[in-house]
Amino acid sequence: MNIVVLDGHGVNPGDLSWDALRPWGNLTVYPRTAPEHVYERAREADLLLTNKTPLDAALLERLPRLKYIGILATGYNVVDTEAARKQGITVCNIPAYSTASVAQAVFAHLLTIVNRTEHYSRQIRSGRWSASPDFCYWDTPLTELAGKKMGIVGLGHIGQTVARIASAFGMEVYAMTSKSREQLEAGIRKCEWDELLKQCDVISLHCPLTPQTHHLIDAHALQGMKPGAILINTGRGPLVDEEAVADALNRGAIAAYGADVLSEEPPRADNPLLSARGAYLTPHIAWATREARERLLAVCAENIKAFINGTPQNVVNP
């Protein structure tokens, strides 16, 4: 049984071990695989693992030996799951491994914005506090979260965790969700899109990327947002129209955009958010704590074990 990892570096750059996978077959781990090398590296695989390397129908047709694809992530849009199903290939993902880490990143962005942590760190290094005639120094507005309205779009595992943390900060929590009011935890107010945009001081995106949610935040939505609102995106880059968000930031229509994801990754040098005023960006690392990656690899091994034992779990193409 041959197990091939096409792009292991993103999940495990060397600080973790692949040993949990070794009992189940001959393991080969490639740090990265360029498109022109995917077939060559995958053609002898019985089990193929990918994080972001695409596996389309044309490629899968050329891999008759392949019986299992393990996605080293929760999202599985990199694999043509329907083509895999027709070919008898089981596709499994890793759900909910990064919930705590991503929720933590939401508030890392939010606290950086409202407390201006990055700004004051730079000011201190430049000597501004040392030169201050007062015991404290500030030159920007500072904002308290208690009493502010937090709008959450999508109330899955991460959205619910964000809601709990927001409540702990004393925020009022609004949510746009398919869940009924009876299914919501105490303190979460179900609302419609227009109300969420109009009422909320902070909006955090946690919905999946679908044709319906592509550019969910566009120029029209931004126009409907509360003036001076903060937008957080740790979901998917294309949930927002980046040109429109950059324009809103530069005009001061919204106060800030905290994002861990962009529409193209790595970003093009001319991405308007890279130079927009009030854009706080991190390089798709919300999921990447050591603890989350350890959970990911543990579930990956359990997925393989379950598949080999004839009881596959976390299947996304039944």
Q: Residue 72: what pLDDT?
A: 98
| 128 has catalytic annotation | no
Residue with tokens 């998917």: 236
pLDDT-based confidence at 123, cuts 50/70/90? very high
pLDDT-based confidence at 207, cuts 50/70/90? very high
Q: Residue 11: what pLDDT?
A: 97
Going from the C-alpha of 238 to that of each of 184, 194, 204, the distances in angstroms are 27, 20, 14
Q: Tell me phi and psi for residue 173, to 5 degrees.
A: -105, 120
Length of the chain, please?
318
Average pLDDT on 37-44 reads 98
pLDDT-based confidence at 18, cuts 50/70/90? very high
| 215 has catalytic annotation | no
| 236 has catalytic annotation | yes
The active-site residue out of 109, 116, 236, 293 is 236
Q: Residue 317: what pLDDT?
A: 96
Secondary structure element (H or E) that encloses residue 221, with its range: helix 219-224
pLDDT tens profile 169-181: 999 999 999 999 9
Is the CB of residue 27 less than 8 Å from the CB of residue 59? no
pLDDT-based confidence at 165, cuts 50/70/90? very high
pLDDT tens profile 228-261: 999 999 999 999 999 999 999 999 999 999 999 9
DSSP the chain: -EEEES--TTT-SSSS--GGGGGGSEEEE-S---GGGHHHHHTT-SEEEESS--B-HHHHHT-TT--EEEESSS--TTB-HHHHHHTT-EEE--TTTTHHHHHHHHHHHHHHHHHTHHHHHHHHHTTTTTT-SSS----S-----TT-EEEEE--SHHHHHHHHHHHHTT-EEEEE-SS-GGGSPTTEEE--HHHHHHH-SEEEE-S---TTTTTSB-HHHHHHSPTT-EEEE-S-GGGB-HHHHHHHHHHTSSSEEEES--SSSSPPTT-GGGT-TTEEE--S-TT--HHHHHHHHHHHHHHHHHHHTT---SBS--
pLDDT-based confidence at 80, cuts 50/70/90? very high
Q: Residue 203: what pLDDT?
A: 98
The active-site residue out of 44, 118, 265, 291 is 265
Q: Residue 204: what pLDDT?
A: 98
Q: How far apart are CA 317 and CA 18, in angstroms?
A: 25
Residue with tokens 């089990």: 47
pLDDT tens profile 82-100: 999 999 999 999 999 999 9
